[in-house]
Structure 1
């Protein structure tokens, strides 16, 4: 398999070039988790992988607790299907907590303080109560626990990692709604062996072709645990050696190159970029680091799976302006399809959209 096939195969496994699913929670389960650090962008990431799914549709599903938001892979915020959250946290949370130990000490958050903050938060959210981030912090302060600086973040994250709370909606982009995990359906736990296998299976199915190094990066697991997960499912995957690397993927998909270009406006932290340690296969058209094109924090333009520029949105009264900054010269077909991608973004927001090209 040539390296040039990888972008086309990833477009399919990532559901960007095909749409197997109809509901937001289904695509989230397919990935096992969709990074949701950039809240508006993560909703757009989900929408691009479904048919006719608007921002309002995703907000409604989120409010219905079909999926939730919590700290998961790599200790970063992810959307996770409600029925998956418990086994994912049981597998990944201990490693995240261990990695936080030094920061806990720096913030004077000893285990006794964290235990007490957990108890206060759990008590506040019992019997279906729900509070915003700012309201929960006010409750902690009222009970004599300082939330100054980064203490707030680490206490809320710790209660989430300990399986007490999660985010079940959003008042605004920066003020999530916290709910008790008791509001979610009870689900069976998995043994560590099966949890590692399930995480690996979903990763290589949804992200393949990918390497073990990619999986280790994405999951935040120790290398030995990532290898154990892959070994448990490798008979259901196809290995392919390219250069000195072994790529693994589901054998159900083959590279399909279309007669017309495939264009995607990817949000920041999209799984198409953040899901891999090595992104060289999708950066072949851009050989130098320039203007954030290799930075996962930037929204990017992808043409036939290759990252070829950046973009951003600006709201102006009742419309949205999309500024495009391609790093390569686009032909007529690519420009036309890019216009369609911008139009799709306007449909997702249910707002008029206008385009500006930035040179």
Structure 2
């Protein structure tokens, strides 16, 4: 039975998050609307990021999401925590300015020590990449690596990844559309139209509002984890967003959320079973994940290297894992339960799998 949507007792946190994250309450708009609502969608696993957006839209297909990238509606880059995300095009610059600058400062000594990327080396790399992309045409990662090598800039031992990541965090480049199976890169200023600048205070307020609307109920500590900002900054962000939010305390923790989404569309009869992709915001978006994930299952769901597995969520709780394979018959989903599953729960998984099939425009079967 679904928890009372008016309550934020512990069992109700997951219920609210499913709705506020638009998992149980998909939108009828496009990928840009989903990404803007969530603030950002973690996207180092490209296929998983496409599905993370698609599952939050009524009747979306993978082609729809990729078209939004090609149309420059959403952009894949490194705005926060040094990690790839998809963000709305209009948000790229203020997010980089607010969050990526801190990552650059924190990583400067390490990338110089481990990869020889001091100020002079980065300046040379910046010049090489900017010149290579000056004609406005997207280039693959491997093409840019070759260009760096020709300019006597080593790309070995992950040095190349740090070069491209650094330039993206500086707002010089971002990823463009895929070329075959490879990511491509473009100059940010050539790819994304200039948008209005936000002051630091405006950016903090916007970030706080986006996060608590898209991820609430959540704590200020959750926002600090998600954004990579200091607790002082996230407290300032919350203070600016407070007039638009509601709060409720559980024990010593205070949770913030947008009551408007709840009032407009909470549905206690929403489908109880979801197949979430790896790195989905439903788990990765919080410091404390206990509302959805039993601590006993943490090591099975989140690897020691920080890799989040694709998971099965039943009535708000992670109840199993799944993997997708493709063969001549279409998509094949293998299921690993984390607890015994009831007959109706397996039926729910089968129904959720069909939605993935529609997204992929492919037959799907559960193994």
Match of 1:244 in 2: 252
- Aligned pairs for 1:36-115 within 5 A: 36-105=43-112, 106-115=114-123
Aligned counterpart for 2:140 among listed residues 102, 115, 132: 132
Mapped to 2, the partners of 1:180 and 1:57 lie a distance apart of: 24
Mapped to 2, the partners of 1:273 and 1:347 lie a distance apart of: 24
Match of 2:273 in 1: 263
Are the equivalent residues in 2 in contact too, given 1:282–1:306 (CA < 8 A)? yes
- CA-to-aligned-CA distance 1:92-149 (integer Å, 9 cap, x gap): 1210101212321221110111011111111111131221000011111111111111
Mapped to 2, the partners of 1:121 and 1:310 lie a distance apart of: 40
Greater shift, 29-38 or 289-298, is seen at: 289-298
SS in 2 for 1:322: strand
Mapped to 2, the partners of 1:204 and 1:290 lie a distance apart of: 24
Matched, 1:230 2:238: yes
Matched, 1:118 2:126: yes
Matched, 1:199 2:210: no
Match of 1:272 in 2: 282
SS in 2 for 1:320: strand
Mapped to 1, the partners of 2:10 and 2:65 lie a distance apart of: 35
Are the equivalent residues in 2 in contact too, given 1:260–1:333 (CA < 8 A)? no
**Structure 1: 5+ residue stretches without partners:** none
Are the equivalent residues in 2 in contact too, given 1:9–1:253 (CA < 8 A)? no
Mapped to 2, the partners of 1:4 and 1:102 lie a distance apart of: 44
Aligned counterpart for 1:303 among listed residues 292, 295, 314: 314
SS in 2 for 1:44: helix
Greater shift, 208-217 or 181-190, is seen at: 181-190
Mapped to 2, the partners of 1:32 and 1:259 lie a distance apart of: 27
SS in 2 for 1:147: coil
Equivalenced residues, count: 353
- CA-to-aligned-CA distance 1:21-44 (integer Å, 9 cap, x gap): 410111111111111111001101
Match of 1:344 in 2: 355
Q: Quick one: structure 1 residues 154 and 231, their matched pair in 2 at CA, closer, same or farther if it must change by over 3 Å?
A: same
Mapped to 2, the partners of 1:26 and 1:253 lie a distance apart of: 14
Q: CA deviation at 1:293?
A: 2.9
SS in 1 for 2:247: strand
RMSD of the alignment, in Å? Answer: 1.6
* TM-score after normalising by structure 2: 0.92
Match of 1:325 in 2: 336
Matched, 1:13 2:23: no
SS in 1 for 2:135: helix
Are the equivalent residues in 2 in contact too, given 1:293–1:308 (CA < 8 A)? no
Mapped to 1, the partners of 2:298 and 2:9 lie a distance apart of: 26
Aligned counterpart for 1:24 among listed residues 19, 31, 38: 31
- Aligned pairs for 1:282-301 within 5 A: 282-283=292-293, 286=294, 288-289=296-297, 292-294=300-302, 297-301=308-312
SS in 2 for 1:282: coil
Q: CA deviation at 1:192?
A: 0.3
**Structure 2: 5+ residue stretches without partners:** 1-7
Match of 2:228 in 1: 220
- CA-to-aligned-CA distance 1:305-354 (integer Å, 9 cap, x gap): 11111110111224111011122233333222211101111111111111
Q: CA deviation at 1:289?
A: 2.8
